[in-house]
Amino acid sequence: MTTKTKRTTIYLEPDLHKALRMKAVTASRSVSELVNEAVKKSFAADAEDLEVFETRANEPSISYDEMIKKLKKDGRI
């Protein structure tokens, strides 16, 4: 099975690069596999956040000042 990939250059902090290489070796995976997995997880988290924003779009909003007053009135601060 051949997967099409694109080559890119990224710059990592030296300690992050070292840790990533070590993890790749211990997991018997390539650095590219680990980076691809991390990016996919990040995008999946973004997609979840966007879904939540969409479902809450019609909720009434409250200003910061109003929220602080409400918390104070309710005895939470």
From first to last of its 77 residues, the chain has per-residue pLDDT tens of: 467 999 999 999 999 999 999 999 999 999 999 999 999 999 999 999 999 999 999 999 999 999 999 999 999 99
User: Is residue 31 a contact partner of residue 21, using CB atoms and an 8 Å limit?
Assistant: yes
- Domains in the chain: boundaries: 24-57
* Helix axis angle, 31-55 to 14-26, nearest 10°: 100
Token digits of residue 54: 């969409």
